[in-house]
Structure 1
Amino acid sequence: MMLSATLIAAAALTGCTVTDGDTIRCGKERVRLIGIDAPDDPGNSRCRPFPKPGAVCNRRRAAESKQALQRAMTGPIRIERLGTDNYGRTLAMVYVHGRSLSCRQIETGQAAYVARWDRGRHVARECPRAVEGRKIPSRTYSDRPAEDLPAFSGTIAGDLVARLGPNRTIKQGAIQLAGGLVRCRGRQTMADVDPI
């Protein structure tokens, strides 16, 4: 009886594709693997205009993580739905051949474990040894190797131009932008930026 349920689920999910290292799409349903965070492409909204705390913005690592998840998505797929997130994605434990894809991504170094995203500690129970060594610190910042700097610099330049406005000098815009960068990293607020 269990085998037939798995085959039915696999037949219903044959159209699943990989969006990135921690998200898949099955038809119209976007499914976010619970408890993990994979590297993001610098063009991703988590990396623009400034990297969000915890985001790893690295084009090469994001592609490698996505490819690893694509390679793992061979065989019967089972989704254990646990809720939805603020973006309307299904939060779930996803299994291929009975193995958790969240655990597989952590074990192969393609994603980090994030305890606050592990509702019900499902991932921690499935692969406790892998989780222990792959936790993501509460505050980490993106690494931007040379190949990602042009894209990152372009977003900074665009933001500077937007902040200039009709009655601002380049110096005023740059100071406001610098304050935004520092605020984004949680070190101070805009009120802490010295006026010109």
Structure 2
Amino acid sequence: MGLSRRARDIGVAVAILALTALVVARVSGEGGETIAGTARAADGDTLTLEGHRVRLVGIDTPEMTQVCKRDGADWRCGVAARSRLAELLRAGPVTCRTQGTDRYDRWLARCETAGGDLGERMVREGLAVAYGGYEDEERFARAERKGLWGSEFDMPQDWRRMNGRPQDVHEAEPGVLGGILDALGLT
């Protein structure tokens, strides 16, 4: 009796560990899904693809109501970022590789069209700032004074803070299991 109970306990423990590993892999974005199709721009760093809201990882763009100054005149930089993303999306089908979700339940992903990586293009053209990715492209845009870098602007996260807007979250949320693992010091 003692041996079978111990074997059962070990089996249950192994099953729990395997399930935990699968959940952790999903939360951390490993084995993310690939989705493709026609997309439309919601703003400069968020798109809708096959009914899913997708947040481009590694970049941050001005909010739709954010206004920058270029050559002393107001420039609706948030609208400009959205317009450029919309233009890039018209190039054809979009393919996104997901890396998890954010607190708004948007998929976090790197996306591309036949024209290349969308985040890379937005940062290189100066319509997005690097946020955990695309630092080389941002250096190029700064040096060339492209887009935002040729204007006076508040960093998008600073603008949101100053204007009472919630801060965007660019990484996958850990969820309940992640919180437990963090509390146990296992992450």
TM-score by length of 2: 0.50
Name structure 2 gaps, 5 residues minimum. Answer: 1-34, 68-74, 143-148, 165-187
Corresponding position of 2:137: 130
User: Match for 1:69 among 76, 81, 85?
Assistant: 85
Q: Which consecutive aligned stretches of 4+ in structure 1 deviate over 4 angstroms post-superposition? A: 133-140
Q: Which has the higher strand share?
A: 2
Aligned partners of 1:113 and 1:134 also within 8 Å? no
Give the root-mean-square deviation of aligned CA atoms: 3.3
Corresponding position of 2:61: 38
User: Match for 2:122 among 76, 89, 105?
Assistant: 105
Amino acid at match of 2:106: R
Classify 1:97/1:109 alpha carbon distance in 2 versus 1 (closer, same or farther; 3 Å): same
Name structure 1 gaps, 5 residues minimum. Answer: 1-8, 43-56, 116-122, 144-151, 156-196
Amino acid at match of 1:66: R
Deviation at 1:26, TM superposition (A): 1.4
User: Match for 1:89 among 106, 117, 121?
Assistant: 106
Classify 1:38/1:60 alpha carbon distance in 2 versus 1 (closer, same or farther; 3 Å): same
Aligned length: 111
TM-score by length of 1: 0.48
3-state SS in 2 of match to 1:70: helix
% identical aligned pairs: 27
User: Match for 1:80 among 80, 97, 112?
Assistant: 97
CA–CA distance in structure 2, aligned partners of residues 39 and 81 of structure 1:
23
1:27-74 deviations in Å (ceiling 9; x for gaps): 3200000011111023xxxxxxxxxxxxxx327111110110011111
